[in-house]
Amino acid sequence: MEIGSNLSDKGKYDLNLVNKAIDGDQKAYAELLERYRDAIYFMLLKMVNNKSDAEDLTIEAFGKAFKSIKQYTPNYAFSTWLFKIATNNCIDFIRKKKANLVSIDQPIEGHDGVQSLPASNLLSGGLDPEESLIKDQNIQLVKTLVLKLKPRYRRLIELRYFKEYSYDEIAKELSIPLGTVKAQLFRARELLHNILINSPHKP
C-alpha cells in the first residue's frame, strides 16, 4: 500500500513495517510488537486494573491486529488503528465480565420463554455450549493450541477437558478456592475459544 501523505515519519516507518509484514516478513511483525507492546499493555492495565488480564488482552490485541493487518489503510497511523482494536477488545472483555457476574445466578430465559437453570449451575456441573465446542474439536489440535496458553490456564484446561474433572475436583487438585477455579477457567475457556475459532488449522 502507498504511503499516506498525512502520516508522520513514525507513521511512515510503521507503514513500511506493515507492508513487509503483509509480504510475510516475520521480523516486521516482531518489530511492530516490540514498538507498541508496552504502550498497549499500560493502556489496558489502566482499563482493567489487573496485570494478568492486561497481559492477556495485549496478546489478543496484537493477535487480532496481525490477523486483519491487510485491512489496515494508511489514512491514519497504524498506532491509531492498533490502539482502537485493543480498546474495543478490552471494552468487550469488560462487558462480558460484568455480564457474567450479573447473570451468574439468574435463570436463563430461552426463546420460547421457558426458564432454564441459572448460569451458576453450568459453572458447577456439565459443559455449556462454548465448552462443548472446545470439547468437540480434534483432541490433538486442542492439545497443540493449549500450549499457547499460560501455564495456569493450560493446567485448568487439561483437567477440565482432557481429564474431565468437576470444578470441585479441580479446586482440590490445585489446592485453590472454588471461586478462583471458576474465574480462571472462565478466562481460560474464553482465550482457548478465541484461539480455536481464529486458528487457520481448524478441523
Rounded to two decimals, the pTM is 0.54
Position of cell 487439561? 158
pLDDT at 199: 55
Grid coordinates representing 187?
478466562
Residue 52's Cα: distance from chain center in Å? 12
For residue 108, the cross-strand partners are 116
pLDDT computed for residue 165 by the predictor: 84
Q: What is the CA radius of gyration of the chain?
A: 20
Identify the pLDDT of residue 39: 93
Q: Give me the residues paired with residue 109 across strands.
A: 115
Consecutive 10-residue runs of the chain (203 residues): their mean pLDDT?
72 94 88 91 92 84 88 92 94 79 43 41 47 51 67 80 81 86 78 63 45
Euclidean distance between CA atoms 90 and 84, whole angstroms: 10
Of 7, 89, 79, which Cα lies nearest the Cα of 37? 79
How far is 110 from 22, CA to CA, in rounded Å?
A: 44
Residues contacting 167, CB < 8 A, separation 6+ = 123, 124, 178, 181, 182, 185
Q: What is the pLDDT of residue 140?
A: 55
**All domains of the chain, ordered by start, with CATH?**
9-101 (1.10.1740.10), 121-198 (1.10.10.10)
Please report the pLDDT score of residue 132 as a whole number: 53
